[in-house]
Structure 1
Amino acid sequence: MDAHQMEFENPFGMDEDCENCDALCGSRESLVHGYGDVGGEFLVVGEAPTAGADRTGIPFTGDAAGERVQSIFADLGFVRSEPDATEPDVQNLFFTYLTRCRHPEREPTDEEVATCEPFLNAEIRMINPQIIVPVGDRALDALAIDYTTRKPDSFDVEAEHATTIRGRGFELVPMKEPDAMTDADADAFREHMLENVLSRDYRQTKGRQER
């Protein structure tokens, strides 16, 4: 955790009353900005808040999907609290989403993703991560298109799960949606992180300045 960081929840003080998407303002319970260590070298990006995250206001909390993601990163040494914690104790890790509000009946529209893009771009710029974990196809497509040189139609989280994709200044390690992950998938992600990311000097991805 950054020595000057006061709290994990929305540490960059982003707009907590955003009303840029009319269709979401009345349907959301919370506006869910990023959460975690602002000095983290690992950034986890999902598509949109789940019902659990909408209720708690914290990414990847409040339901079984969030618990699965937290448990995976706990096994890797990034989460020091129980998987069902609604305010996880994290280190070297930041959780966030492409979009910040949940519609209970549908996925985010492309327009809503584009409207929220400045929030995510600001978090990426300020955190300056070494490794980004896109969770699900939507997050993988958005990040890979913006930050790699591959063609947009070449990405598939089923094929890319638990692999490393070279990005512009960092690496992507895609993860399937937690609800779609089997135990074998979760084990494969842990194994890839341990053997191919954490076992080497991933900081060589770019010339990172000391904080």
Structure 2
Amino acid sequence: MDKDAVLQEFRDAEALLEGHFLLSSGLHSEMYLQCARVMMDPDRGARICAALADKIRKTIEPKIDIVVSPAMGGVVVGYEMGRQLGVNSIFTERVDGEFELRRGFAIPEGANVLMAEDIVTTGLSSKECIATIERLGGNVVAASCLIDRSNGKVDVGVPLVSLIGLEVPAYDADNLPEHLKNSEAVKPGSRDLKK
């Protein structure tokens, strides 16, 4: 699945939004990719995650034993990645601001883990989730995401396999371009802003 095909899937799902958005990182952007809308269609979600799973199989050497994703955005993508790879999938949740496993989830000691995200922008959530997985005994062999908004610039500490990379500018509040300065930012994501 090439870049144009992936972006068309987002457009068809009305998930490629343009305007003024406040990202969970605290940065501002003119584009927002709403993966939840893409994943709400099971056929579309299976198509794009199958393409990502195929890419992972071709680039990641160790066998993946389990998929772990950060809630909230990574839950559905993580589930589908587990299904596509034929392994279990679990997710972390924030408890008092830190990622933890709940619901009886556990990572088998030494298991090779794929950390699966929906979108990576700054890599903060990915790095936090990876640190939690490692603290709980998992061996993170790779991270994955549908869209890498850094277009390969973010280092999450393990190989990051994305379906596509995009160069999407993000701005500090003090450095907004003129056309965004006079518009109110919308906060479409599920996570509270980083302070």
TM-score bin, normalised by smaller chain: 0.3 to 0.5
Task: Determine which structure has greater relative contact order: mean sequence separation of CA pairs < 8 Å that are 6+ residues apart, divided by chain length.
Answer: 2
Q: More strand per residue: 1 or 2?
A: 2
